[in-house]
Each structure stands twice: as structure tokens, then as C-alpha cells.
Amino acid sequence: MSSPESTKRRDFLKSVGALGAIVAASRVSPAADGPPQAGASPGVAGLAAPPLATVRFGLVGVGARGSSHIDELLKVDGCELTALCDPHGPALAAGVAKLAQAGRRAPATFGDGPHAYRKLLERSDVDAVVLSTPWELHVPHAVEALKAGKHVFIEVPAAVALDECWQLVETAEATRRHCMMLENVCYGREELMVLHMCRQQLFGELLHAEAAYVHDLRFQEKEVDWGTGSWRVPHYERRNGNVYPTHGLGPVAQYLGINRGDLFSHLVSMSSPARGYALYAAREFPPDHPRNRARYVLGDMNTSLVQTARGRTIVVQHDVATPRPYSRHNLVSGTRGAFGGFPNRIAVEGRTDVHRWDTDMARWYAEFDHPLWRRVGGLAEKTGGHGGMDYVMWWRVVQCLREGLALDQDVYDAASWSAVGPLSEQSVAQGGAPVRFPDFTRGRWKDTPALGIVS
């Protein structure tokens, strides 16, 4: 006999699946330039909200990723965790235990069904909401939170359809609240250093970049009733494109000043055959298991080529199905040199032999380590997740909210970086035909300054 908890979980996943079907149907329409320009709300590029003496967070979704956000926020001064929400009882209890172990006040908790988060949004002691929920729920939850007057921080990708991207943009503009996608990789030590190098024009005029998410995640097939794979793997049964673009793309978009002096213009996308997940299922599960009855359509490798309004090019790849080492590529090249990641390597005209890579990064860190990393990176490396980038991200978010500063990522970044997902699906379905990006900034990218080097 199944437990009440497992029954509740299955009902929750059914609701997520139904919503996913609706979203999938919305993706078949051609990309458009978005809503009419007339009557558009004022933009939120550079939005600076009133400062908060203490940032009070409510977390919706405290499972695998949400739990790690609790760990990081407990280390950051100037914030409190006042409310937690998750329909999965064990995850909610574990989150409460983390606060108790840290000697913090017990948070309000909400776990009675998939709509319990609405009670969290009603609370006056929640300034900002962190959403670590299945992808299909990001935008519905975010829109409600923004309308409730909360700042919103969404796990990646922020949206899975173009109309959802527009919903985020229009709601953030109408409510004048921050809506940031939590692209933690933008706060990695290497990525921050390369951003610093780009702003110092070390590589000259930037011309090309490469980004990727290459990560063997076949093990997630074993997460059937609970865990990331329980809702993520079904995407691979109905979508074919780059469904998870932002870890590699976010940093290179910041290097190139996307939405801040340049803009994604259009892309073409192609996928290899889908083999990895079916082969893994055949090896690991009985023949009649649901994973073996599934039909996986997501190509093992998707390659998308993006061109920007200024003519620059970006290669974006996605592969979670083949046995190969992890990589985000993190490559940027210009008229005077290039940097590449995994492993880190650099070539700069006048400073190295440009016919071979310099792999000794010590002197480059000494000269170009980002001031933000110099300030908090030591603690981040000792205690923070993903090599410290998670801590640096939350430290910076809390700093901005407490001092009334603009965030390093805004809703236009969330929308445009996430839009690679549905646009790549559309291009693949059309045999690699080019598709255009909407201009989510409605032309404001031309006058928005590039992200600076903050300390």
C-alpha cells in the first residue's frame, strides 16, 4: 500500500505534467517580437528598490536545490529565513531542522498541497521569495509572488516557453520588483575573472564565445518518485533542443554585454540522435519499467549557434546523456586573445605565445581576480557550494537588497537566456532553420550600460 506522502507526491507530479503539456502546446507558435510597444511599462534595467535593513526570505521548494540555498543563506549576514514551503514532508522537515541546528528562529512552514505557497506569499515578514521548484512551476509561482509585492529569485532556467518569458518581463515591469534568475555560475571565480579581463579589454574587441552544459545526468533516471529526475527526465520525452542553456550561457552573455549594448538576434539549432537515456534505461531497469516504456526524443547533443545584433557569434551546447567529462566550455575570443575553460587556458597577443595555451593561471589570478572574489572568495571556497559560487551569489544578492543597488542579473537576462530553450526546440523542429529572438528590453539594450566590475 502506498503511503499518504507518496500519493501526495504522485498527485503533485501529475499536476506538473499537465501544466507541462499546456506549456509544450504553447511552444509551437513562431517566435514573435512580443507585445505591442505602445503602452509598455517603464523598463527595469538598473532597477534599485528601496533598501532593506534585513532581507527576509521565503523559500518555495526546499528539496535538493532549495536545501542548498538554505545552507548558503544561513552563512550570509543581514538576512533571515522566515518561511519555508514544500509539499514533500521530509524535505520540509529537513529544512526546518537546518535552521534549528543553526540556532535560528523556527520559520513558518507550508506543506499542505501544491498551492500552499500562496499562504507564504501573504506573509508580511517575507520580502523576497526563492523558487526552487520544477521548471514548469517557475513562472506561475514567480508571477504570483511579484504581484504579491515580493522580490523573486528563480532557479534556472527561469522559463520554458516564450510566452512565459514575456510574462516575467511584463510582471516585473508592472510591479517594479526584482526578478532575478539564480545563475550561480556567473559568480564562479573563473567566470568573474574572465569578466574582469573582458572589461579591461585584455582580449581586444570580443567576437565569439562558446558555452555549454555537458554533464552526465543519466543517474537521474533512477529518481522516479522523488528527486530532480522525477520531473526533469519527462522533459526529455517531449522536448528536443537545448533545454538547460543558462549555466554556460549566462557568463558569456555578461562578457559580451547582452541586453547591455548588444542583443541576441537569432539562432539555428540541431540535435544529434537520442540514444543515451534509452540505453541507460535498458541496462538499469526491467524491460517493463516505465523508464523503458518511455520514448526519449531529446537529442544527446544539441548545438545551437546564436548571432547577436552586433554580429558576434555564440556556440551553445547541451549534453546530459553521454559518458564524457563535465564542461561549460566558457570560451571567449577577441582581436587580441582568448580564454577557454575546462581546463582553464589563455592566450594573449603580446603577453603569451598565441600559438600555444598558457595553462598556468596563478599570475592571471594575481592580476585579474575579480574584486568581489577577493572580498569574499576565501570564505566562499571554504564553505560555499559549487566551489564557492553559491555563497558569492547570495552574498551579493543580499548586499544589493540591503543597500538598494541594482542586481547583477535582471528580468531581461532571465528571459533572454532562458529563451534559448524554446527557440532551439523550434529551430530543431524546422530542420535547423533560423529563428529570431524577441527583444525583451524593447530597444532599451542600446542605452543600458554593460555590467561593471563591482567590489
User: For cell 554593460, what's the residue?
Assistant: 450
Residues 137-171 have pLDDT tens digits of 999 999 999 999 999 999 999 999 999 999 999 99
Identify how many contiguous H helices and E strands the chain contains and give both numbers.
15, 14
> For all residues of the chain together, what is the average pLDDT?
93
- Is residue 28 pLDDT above 90, yes or no? no
- Is residue 121 pLDDT above 60, yes or no? yes
**Percent of the chain having pLDDT more than 90?**
89
Q: In this predicted structure, what is the pLDDT of residue 36?
A: 43
3 falls in which pLDDT band (50, 70, 90)? very low
Rounded to whole angstroms, the Cα distance separating 344 from 326 reads 13
> Rounded to 5, what percent of the chain is helix, strand, coil?
40, 15, 40
Give residues with Cβ within 8 angstroms of 1, minimum separation 6: none
- Is residue 290 pLDDT above 70, yes or no? yes
> Which of 300, 280, 301, 304 is closest to 292 using CA atoms?
280
- Is residue 21 pLDDT above 80, yes or no? no
Instruction: State the average pLDDT over residues 77-103.
Output: 98
Cβ proximity of 159 and 410 under 8 Å = no
Give residues with Cβ within 8 angstroms of 99, minimum separation 6: 70, 74, 81, 105, 106, 107
Instruction: State the average pLDDT over residues 6-30.
Output: 42
Cβ proximity of 339 and 331 under 8 Å = yes
Give me 57's grid cell: 526570505
- Is residue 455 pLDDT above 90, yes or no? no
Residues 323-375 have pLDDT tens digits of 999 999 999 999 999 999 999 999 999 999 999 999 999 999 999 999 999 99
**207: three-class secondary structure by DSSP:** strand
Full DSSP string of 214-261: E---GGGGG-SSSSHHHHHGGGGGT--S-SS-HHHHHHHHHHHTBTTT
| Helix ranges (DSSP H) in 74-113 | 89-101
Cβ proximity of 413 and 250 under 8 Å = yes
34 falls in which pLDDT band (50, 70, 90)? low
Least confident of 34-38, 186-190, 388-392: 34-38
Cβ proximity of 330 and 211 under 8 Å = yes
Residues 266-276 have pLDDT tens digits of 999 999 999 99
For residue 152, give Cα distances in angstroms to 53, 114, 278, 297, 397: 18, 19, 37, 32, 11
User: For cell 529565513, what's the residue?
Assistant: 81
Multiple choice CATH, 4-20+48-182, 3.40.50.11690, 3.30.1490.100, 3.30.1180.20, 3.40.50.720: 3.40.50.720
Instruction: State the average pLDDT over residues 221-249.
Output: 98
Q: In this predicted structure, what is the pLDDT of residue 24?
A: 41
Q: Where in the chain is the domain with CATH 3.40.50.720?
A: 4-20+48-182
- Is residue 30 pLDDT above 90, yes or no? no
Q: In this predicted structure, what is the pLDDT of residue 339?
A: 99
Rounded to whole angstroms, the Cα distance separating 151 from 145 reads 7
**157: three-class secondary structure by DSSP:** coil
- Is residue 261 pLDDT above 60, yes or no? yes
50 falls in which pLDDT band (50, 70, 90)? very high
Residues 8-17 have pLDDT tens digits of 444 444 444 4
255 falls in which pLDDT band (50, 70, 90)? very high
Give me 281's grid cell: 534505461
- Is residue 1 pLDDT above 90, yes or no? no
38 falls in which pLDDT band (50, 70, 90)? very low
Give residues with Cβ within 8 angstroms of 295, minimum separation 6: 237
Q: In this predicted structure, what is the pLDDT of residue 7?
A: 43
Q: In this predicted structure, what is the pLDDT of residue 42?
A: 87
Nearest-10 Cα torsion for 88, 244, 431, 437: 110
For 186-446, give the CATH class.
alpha beta
Rounded to whole angstroms, the Cα distance separating 129 from 141 reads 10
